[in-house]
């Protein structure tokens, strides 16, 4: 099974995933969202964004895989 971080997050068997085609534009939007925020505001935005995206994904197996991949990368 491919990791959630594989290019395009693409595996036809997984209904909650689709081709990722907005890379540069999303990166610019993400940077703009954090611009001029202090550390506390950045942490609050992180928490809200994680919860909103998790709710949108709505698939515990995908969320579990993402948490595992991010946790391993952070260590």
Cβ pair 3, 69 in contact under 8 A: yes
pLDDT, position 73: 84
Contact between 3 and 65 under an 8 Å Cβ cutoff? The reply is: yes
Show pLDDT as tens, one digit a residue, over the chain (75 residues).
Answer: 455 555 445 555 655 555 566 778 888 999 999 999 999 999 999 999 999 999 988 888 888 888 988 898 888
Q: What is the pLDDT of residue 34?
A: 97
In the chain, which ranges are E strands?
none
CB 57 within 8 A of CB 63: yes
Domain ranges in the chain?
38-75
Tokens of 44: 């609050």
What is d(CA 31, CA 71) in angstroms, rounded to the nearest whole number?
A: 22
């Amino acid at each position: 099974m491919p990791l959630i971080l594989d290019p395009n997050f693409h595996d036809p068997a997984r209904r909650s995933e689709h081709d990722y085609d907005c890379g540069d534009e999303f990166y610019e939007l993400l940077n703009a969202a954090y611009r001029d925020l202090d550390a506390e505001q950045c942490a609050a935005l992180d928490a809200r964004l994680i919860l909103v995206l998790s709710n949108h994904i709505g698939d515990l197996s995908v969320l579990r895989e993402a948490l595992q991949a991010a946790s391993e990368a952070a260590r």
